[in-house]
Structure 1
Amino acid sequence: MFLSCAKSSPKSNPVTPIDPVVTNPDTTKSLVKTDAKPVVKTNSQKVYVHYMPWFEDKTTSGTGKWGQHWTMANQNPDIVLANGRRQIASHYYPMTGPYASSDRDIIDYQLLLMKYAGIDGVIVDWNGSHNVYDYPLIKRNTDSLFSRMPGVGLQFGICYEDASLVNVNKVTGEDMVTAAKEDFAYLQTNYFKSSNYITISGQPLLLDFGPQGLKSAIDWQQAFSGLTIRPRLLSLLYQGDVTGSAGSGEFFWVGATDPAPINDFYNNRSKTLATAFAGAYPGFHDFYKEGGWGNNLFTINYNGTGTMQSTLNLAKNSNLPYLQLITWNDYGEGTMIEPTLDFNFDFLVTIQQYTGVKYTQTELELIYKWYTLRKKYVGNASAQSQLTQAYSYLASLDVDKAREIIEKL
């Protein structure tokens, strides 16, 4: 029923990360300093979005080639199709075109969209700290995203792919529990202590997409043994028993089309858990067979925004205090809610209505225009300074002042 988000080529070699792309260094002289302000919502549920930090373009991959999550086994984004789109490993196409996850312009654009949709924070799919396959790039991109959180005022959390430990063991020979301890030590040092990190009952939130690598309660206890800050660990639905006393609950995830597991999780299973996360998604249409990565898994029709709306309704009726949107940008599985040429801003508008913010598609379009100007005026220090000021105004919810700058450029 469940599928792993961790698709890393078994033929990949360890990668040495290069510096994140910064196409437009901030010009902060003479800026009006503003602080990020929280968006007011009528829906008190905490809404987070699952995020994939694994996209690379030719300038960031370290190989001079497009990253595998745009190509899979057989696609080539250098080929421009008759419809003007690059050939990517997805049935759907980002409004920005394919991007690098470390591009600061992309990060700021995405975080502003989330903010104006009433999303409280990002839960990043993370493969750990070890130099195996493309994990160093994912780690670098996660660090880049995390560094931009304070400026926009959103929260941040980690979904650990413990299946990656199997690959670490295979490539390096390191024991999986030891490797996990090193990963958690990294999280504690670099993330858990941040005021922007998501906490529940004073504990830093840690989702696990499994367990798939650490398969016993003893393994999890040992993996956490070196921490001074004990995370609040949530496993996939119906998998929490594997972690024993180290775990604190479960989170819902998109599966096959049968609604029975959704109803059972909300009506029965979640009531037995200390912490449970609801989930909502727009649909599911993977590219794995077409991209040469095995067979297609299943399909959940989008019905316009119907599936997004119906899964949000179920999440609301569950009365659970936490919701994870599935996902911001998993193009390979077709669960992306960020703006695309196929669905425009529709999913985010549906989320705006759900969270009860006062904003509409108008603000989302303004943020997209801001992004296009960032790219249009690369190298123009004056324009970039103005756009940095507009970003600051948007983060502080001063839309009128941001619009004034953007519309003059």
Structure 2
Amino acid sequence: DWPPMGLSGGGTNTLPPAQLQSYLVSFDQKAGGWPAFVSSAFPRFHDFYAQAGAGSSYGHLDDANGSTFTNTLSRALTNHSAIVQVVTWNDFGEGTIVEPTQNYGYRDLGVVQNLRRQYLDPSFSYHTNDLAMAFRFYNLRKQYGNSPAIYAELDRIFTNIVSGKISTANMQLTGMESNHPVIYNLAYNGVQLQFLIGGYVASSVQVQMSTNLTTWQTVQIFAASTNLSVFSTDTIQAVCRFFKIQ
């Protein structure tokens, strides 16, 4: 199936939700007798053909605050179709965009995530906020293109993102955005404590230690570098020690 814009009458007319629903029900009934079929899900339809002088408009299908996409994708995922097509990633000419935009943000991709979790994969762990990481990463690449230390840290962040280590990558990005170094990948084997230092690493980072959370002393300084900063210390002392970075 496809957005049935011919039913709107074209021009400035809007396709009523009831008419869309009737079309989808009819499609599913017909498709039930076919060997296989493809269902589509679409967020809205608002073409630019008339304004561009490229022909007449096919009409308008309202976004309905995301309900159009949620309803059509839910139906497509539950009507036994062999394939589901999302219409469309970036068709700005017809207004059927699901990629992030200023108007809709990451909402439509969040719908895809939520319905995947509901109908296909309950263990799917990613959420809408994770989608913003690509844009945050891009902005930091542009901002710190002349900083070798930050550029190397962004390479490590990229590796964490594509490896599925989203929480770690998010922590690193947040540190970089706020101009603060961060501690991550804390490990302890009963004898030695180790952690990695990332985030904002354009300048030197001090590792400080305290036994009372009042008086702190610097125990190691990491100079700004393209290398990953790894702090480790033996823990055989009986006294409790606390660490922070700045």
TM-score with structure 2 setting the length: 0.58
Bigger relative contact order (CA 8 A; separation at least 6)? 1
The two structures, once aligned, show a CA RMSD in angstroms of 2.0
Matches within 5 A, 1:221-370: 252-256=1-5, 257=15, 258-259=19-20, 260-269=22-31, 271-273=33-35, 275-356=36-117, 357-370=124-137
Give the conservation status (yes or no) of the 8 Å contact 1:338–1:347: yes
Tell whether the 8 Å contact from 2:99 to 2:106 is kept in structure 1 after alignment.
Answer: yes
Q: Secondary structure at the match of 2:39?
A: strand
Contact 2:31 2:37 in 1 (8 A): no
Percent identity among equivalent residues? 25
Give the whole-Å Cα distance in 2 for the aligned partners of 1:348 and 1:368: 14
Question: Larger radius of gyration, structure 1 or 2?
Answer: 2
Instruction: Say if 1:396 and 1:270 are closer, same or farther in 2 by CA, change over 3 A.
Output: farther
User: What secondary structure does 1:278 align onto?
Assistant: strand
Q: How does 1:10-409 map to 2 (within 5 A)?
A: 252-256=1-5, 257=15, 258-259=19-20, 260-269=22-31, 271-273=33-35, 275-356=36-117, 357-409=124-176
Equivalent AA in structure 1 for residue 99 of structure 2: E
Distance 1:271 1:381 in 2: 61
1:380-406 superposed Cα distances (whole Å, 9 cap, x missing partner) = 444333223222211221012212321
Gap change, CA 1:370 and 1:268, over 3 Å in 2: same
How much has 1:353 moved relative to structure 2?
1.0
Q: CA deviation at 1:277?
A: 1.7
| Partner Cα distance (2:33, 2:169) in 1 | 45
Q: CA deviation at 1:278?
A: 1.3
Q: For residue 221 of structure 1, what is the aligned residue in structure 2? A: none
Distance 1:255 1:375, change over 3 A: farther
Please identify which structure carries the higher strand content: 2
CA distance in 1, matches of 2:32, 2:144: 50
Output the CA distance in 2 between the equivalents of 1:388 and 1:292: 46
CA change 1:288–1:401 in 2 (3 A) is same
Q: Which amino acid aligns with 2:75?
A: L
Shift of residue 270, structure 1, vs aligned partner: 5.0
Q: In 2, distance between residues paired with 1:385 and 1:295? A: 51
Asked if 2 retains the 8 angstrom alpha-carbon contact of 1:267 and 1:318, the reply is no
SS in 2 for 1:289: helix
State the alpha-carbon separation in 2 of the partners of residues 262 and 406 from structure 1: 43
Q: Deviations over 1:151-210 (max 9, x none)?
A: xxxxxxxxxxxxxxxxxxxxxxxxxxxxxxxxxxxxxxxxxxxxxxxxxxxxxxxxxxxx
The one-character-per-residue Cα deviations of 1:123-142 (angstroms, maximum 9, x if unpaired) are: xxxxxxxxxxxxxxxxxxxx
Listed one character per residue, the Cα deviations across residues 83-109 of structure 1 (whole Å, up to 9, x for unaligned) are: xxxxxxxxxxxxxxxxxxxxxxxxxxx
- Do 1:282 and 1:337's aligned partners in 2 also have CA atoms closer than 8 Å? yes
Cα offset for 1:347?
0.9
Aligned residues: 157
Distance in 2 separating the partners of 1:386 and 1:276: 47
Q: Aligned partners of 1:379 and 1:327: how far apart in 2?
A: 37
Cα distance in 1 between the residues matched to 2:30 and 2:43: 24
Moved over 3 A (4+): 378-382
> Once the 2 structures are TM-superposed, how far is the Cα of residue 342 of structure 1 from its aligned partner?
0.7
Unaligned 5+ segments in structure 1 are 1-251
Inter-partner Cα distance in structure 1 for 2:96 and 2:80: 24
Counterpart code for 2:103: D
Residue identity matched to 1:262: L
Shift in alpha-carbon separation, 1:332–1:381, aligned structure 2, 3 A: farther
- Provide the rounded CA distance (Å) in 2 between the counterparts of 1:364 and 1:399: 10
- Structure 1 residue 317: deviation in Å? 2.9
Q: How far did residue 379 of structure 1 move?
A: 4.6
Distance in 2, matches of 1:270 and 1:283, equals 26
TM superposition shift of 1:344: 1.3
- SS of 1:339's partner is coil
